[in-house]
């Protein structure tokens, strides 16, 4: 399994939302932790985590502050 793609330091252009403050993290079965994406709004990061969990991904997903 390869390394995950680097996560950009700021959120995509969201009308001047500024730098990303919330990071969606993933932990695999071996305890390795990886950043999945960065968001300026916590609700967006939480929604993405819920989407992965709803698809049946076995890893643990959570949101941290940047």
**pLDDT tens-digit profile of 6-28?**
555 444 544 555 677 999 999 99
pLDDT band at 56 (very low <50, low <70, confident <90, very high): confident
Q: 10 exposed, middle or buried (CB, 10 Å; 0-12, 13-18, 19+)?
A: middle
Mean pLDDT of 25-46: 94
What are the residue boundaries of the structural domains of the chain, listed by start?
Answer: 22-65
Full-model pTM: 0.68
42-49 long-range contacts, CB within 8 A, separation 24+: 48/24, 49/24
């Amino acid at each position: 399994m390869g390394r995950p793609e680097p996560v950009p330091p700021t959120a995509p252009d969201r009308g001047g939302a500024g730098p990303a403050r919330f990071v969606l993290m993933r932990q695999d079965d071996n305890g390795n932790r990886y950043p999945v994406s960065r968001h300026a709004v916590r609700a967006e990061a939480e929604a993405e985590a819920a989407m992965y969990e709803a698809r049946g991904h076995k890893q643990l997903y959570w949101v941290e502050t940047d």
